[in-house]
Amino acid sequence: MPKPCLNHTVMSDFWIEVIGVIAAILTTASFVPQAYKIYKYQISDGISLTMYFVMLIGVSIWLIYGILLGKFAIILANTITLIVQFFIIYHKLKHLKSKAEKL
């Protein structure tokens, strides 16, 4: 097993977890503007459904990984990201259905 980069005498587990939570907040927040735009304007034309499905699978696996390790930051970030991604996918499918019905 590889050695960790940081010696625990330099940084406590608490601060390592804080770094993880900050990273989780920032990466999870990156999806919020897209979800807000879809909600506000009810338009999802520029959204790649394939990309969000692949991302959803990846985030689901990250969530399982976090649960298996018991890592709060990984669990929190990926749970929230899954919720936002489900929102985006739901609205994309809803808009596709609406367009198909108009044809």
H helical segments located in 1-103: 13-29, 32-41, 49-69, 72-102
The pLDDT tens digits of the residues spanning 38-49 come to 999 988 888 899
Nearest 5°: phi and psi at 3? -80, 145
Band of residue 61 on the pLDDT scale cut at 50, 70, 90:
very high
Single-letter residue type at 11: M
Are the beta carbons of 36 and 89 closer than 8 angstroms? no
Residue showing tokens 């808009």: 95
Domain spans of the chain?
Answer: 14-98
The pLDDT tens digits of the residues spanning 65-92 come to 999 999 988 999 999 999 999 999 999 9
CATH of domain 14-98: 1.20.1280.290
